[in-house]
A and B are shown apart, each in its own frame.
Chain A
Amino acid sequence: MNKKKIVLAEDNSTLSLLLKFRLEKEGYELFVATDGKEALELIESQSPDLILSDIMMPFVSGLEVISHLRNKLNLSTPIIVFSSAGQEEMVLKAFNLGANDFMGKPFSPNELVIRIKRLIGT
């Protein structure tokens, strides 16, 4: 069986590495982008089953990633966004644009795994 693909867009490289490690152990295939621009390229080339994206990123923000995905590419790939304290407004915007779930930082990687499994299974 093919592994399910996940694109992770996050500008904090340590967190990316931590999550990549963890999710690969759970049997997913990870593609890591450090900004929104790279994320969009990966999404188009890999057509992942799930997208994890930070809301605030250099160049292209998480919001723009969602809007591009839903409106330009017309894809319904599930999206989980990461947000920090004080970004409540942005989270609301993210949901309006079509995000499926959100995780407020700081979060526990275990909880993220549970939510991912709920959305796409293993």
Chain B
Amino acid sequence: MVDYQYIYDYYSNTPHLIKWVWWVSALLAISIIVLAVYLKFIRLSLRKKSNETAKFKSEYEALLVEYLYSGDESGKLTDSQKLIINRIKDSIKTPSKRKIIVSVLYNLMNEVSGEMSDSIKTFYYETGLIYYAFERLKSKKWNIIGKGISELRRFGIDEASHVIAPFINHPKSEVRSETHLYMVNLFLFEGLSFLDNLKAPLSEWIQIQLLETLQRFDNQEICDIRPWLKSENNSVVLFALKLAQIYNQFEVKETLMDLLAHENKEIRIETIDVLAHLYGIEAKEMLKTNFNDLSLEEQISFFKLLEKLVVPDDEPFVEAYLFHKNFEIQLLALKILKEINFDKYIGFTKSSNNNKSLAMVKAVKML
């Protein structure tokens, strides 16, 4: 009892600040205990969840495989297949199980071709999973919408396109990207028409993915890319330039020429590369005459092109840049000269009086 009395006396005589400190400390101590216990709980439930996921996964895998092998020639569902579908229909009411089933389906869809992947798609329709994906598109949360689009793309559901199209200019870049991927995966070049109305920039990340997707399909008829080359959206222009190069768009020459005067430097440099790729000599002659109007990066770009397309007639031009103050231009000029007129080049190794340049000339000789 004495102790309590002592504590009470101490407490009532303590300044407010210290009282406050004791209280906060007590609060922190309690929260540490609560947090520690809850952490234990979280770890347990995480472990339980991953075990359960594994269990359900193998259960659904077995069901799916059974479903796939119990089909017959007719293409209609057999009785045993209907039975399996009904079992799955029950399970997908639980969101966590639905997620597992979708991932199992998708994992296999990607790996098998022909009838089997069609059969998986039928399964996706018949079980009603497709309905849930459509529901997701109505969500208010951007990540749910994105997931929905991604799922519809993966299962190749082309009838969703009119519902998905409005997301082309969605404020969240993830949703936009998923929309663009959906369009291109399902409708290939036709799907690219979203570029006509694209306001937001197209990141390099998504550009690469779109191009990869397009390249997965052979023998595609590419559409007219000119409108995109003239787009107000610079990232669309850059993307169209890549298309021009990959799909050898010879007919867009005029538009490309116009782009050499584009206000954006990156576009001008890319255009030089594309022109060089498509037209070679012709583009070279044109750029050579304008060489001095080009920025340094463009000049370097031009020299790289020259290295590939050089002819003996270019010698006087190249000679003028042998001692250019830019390392890359000088290096390229020396390499080119060595290529087209070795004797003259050897002459330089003796005559040059600038030490640094001489070292460079000699070094190029060793290459």
C-alpha gap A18/B108 in the complex (Å): 9
User: Which residues of chain A in 1-45 are interfacial with respect to chain B, using CB atoms and an 8 Å cutoff?
Assistant: 12-15, 17-18, 21-22
A105 with B110, Cβ < 8 A, contacts A14-B104, A86-B212 known: yes
C-alpha gap A108/B115 in the complex (Å): 8
A15 close to B107 (CB less than 8 A): yes
Assign chain A's interface to a size class.
10 to 19
| Any A CB within 8 A of the CB of B206 | no
| Any A CB within 8 A of the CB of B65 | yes
A108 close to B216 (CB less than 8 A): no
Assign chain B's interface to a size class.
20 to 34
C-alpha gap A109/B108 in the complex (Å): 12
A109 close to B116 (CB less than 8 A): yes
Which A residues touch B216, using CB under 8 A?
85
Closest residue to A20 on the B side, CB-wise? Answer: B65
User: Which residues of chain B in 31-67 are interfacial with respect to chain A, using CB atoms and an 8 Å cutoff?
Assistant: 57-58, 61-62, 64-65
A15 with B111, Cβ < 8 A, contacts A85-B216, A109-B116 known: yes
C-alpha gap A12/B106 in the complex (Å): 11
- Name the contact of B111 in the complex, choosing from A21, A22, A86, A106 (C-beta under 8 A): A106
Which B residues touch A85, using CB under 8 A?
216
* Interface positions of A (Cβ within 8 A of B): 12-15, 17-18, 21-22, 85-86, 105-109
Q: 6 tightest A-B contacts by CB?
A: A106-B113, A14-B108, A15-B111, A14-B61, A108-B114, A14-B107
* Interface positions of B (Cβ within 8 A of A): 57-58, 61-62, 64-65, 68-69, 104, 107-117, 212, 216
